[in-house]
Amino acid sequence: MEQQPSNLKRTSTTKSGILIVIGIVLLVALGAYILMTPGILDSLLTIAIVVGIVIIASVMIIYAAIAIMAIPMYMHKGEQYQDGISYGMDSVKTVENSSSEDRKNE
């Protein structure tokens, strides 16, 4: 048996478990109330749709603002490249003792 340190203390999690069960019961009761009251479901659905549209519109506006602000930064930074170097595949050499080399020999 594994020895426990002498200063190890345990606290009860009974309160947390009871609160979780109460929360689940309240959620079920709330769902039943919403389904039994005719106008509430329509109102909540309308509110959810409006909030979703507002969130999507906000994300699109922020994305557009970031894209517009990136243009002057890109123009100021410019491009960097090395001069006098060939980027062709002809100068690429295989690496010795590589796994791809082993597959070719099999």
> Which residues in the chain show pLDDT less than 70?
1, 87, 97-106
Look at residues 40, 16, 42 and name the one whose alpha carbon lies nearest to residue 30: 40
Contact 59/53 with Cβ under 8 angstroms? Answer: no
Note the pLDDT tens digit of each residue in 15-29: 999 999 999 999 999
In the prediction, which pLDDT does 49 show? 96
The residue extents of the domains of the chain are 40-78
CA–CA dist 96, 101 (Å, integer): 7
Q: How does the average pLDDT of the chain come out, rounded?
A: 83
Note the pLDDT tens digit of each residue in 34-47: 888 878 878 888 99
Contact 59/52 with Cβ under 8 angstroms? Answer: no
pTM above 0.85, yes or no: no
Based on C-alpha coordinates, what's the Rg of the chain? 32
CA–CA dist 97, 10 (Å, integer): 56
In the prediction, which pLDDT does 24 show? 96
